[in-house]
Amino acid sequence: MTSRADKLGRLVSLVKLQLRLSEWQLAQLRQRERSLEDEQEWLVGALNHGTPPAGSSSESIARRLNTTSVGARAVQAEAAQQLDQVRRESRRVKQLEEVAKAALADKLRDAEKRSLEEMTGTNPAVHAWTPPPAKRNKT
């Protein structure tokens, strides 16, 4: 049977992996956000120069800019939610680490206590294992 400390240790590892995944997802969202912002800058620059790139009209660039702006706002909102999730998971990891540390300390104290009881012979289980001392009858 595994101890509470072992179970908590595995749980902490799992929650840390979830945190890493959430951080990775946040990084991906930030990268998407940056690329959309770069595209917006390029589109605004194309509109400001007055001469759109070959094959594009001012109207098509404006529509594309509008679509990009909407996408950028959606990604920003999603990134804000993801950041909140990362913060929640980070707090949860810290709390679980403290609980796991306390459980491990309890486990070590119990093991040390059992070891001392076995060495001193005060453990009731040890009494059951040892035969009673031989009685000496003086005759």
pLDDT tens profile 10-46: 999 999 999 999 999 999 999 999 999 999 999 888 8
- Cα–Cα distance, 99 to 93 (Å, whole number): 10
**Which residue in this structure is represented by tokens 């240790």?**
9
From the centroid of its chain, how far is CA 19?
2
Calculate the average pLDDT of the chain: 86
108 pLDDT exceeds 50? yes
Pick the CATH number of 4-123 from 1.10.287, 3.10.620, 1.10.3470, 1.10.10: 1.10.287
Query: Tokens at residue 22, please?
Result: 């959430």
R_g (Cα) of the chain, nearest Å:
33
Tokens 């950041």 found at:
83
Query: Smallest Cα–Cα separation from 105: which of 10, 1, 3?
Result: 3
Q: Where are the domains of the chain?
A: 4-123
CA distance 21 to 15: 10
Place of tokens 């929640």: 88
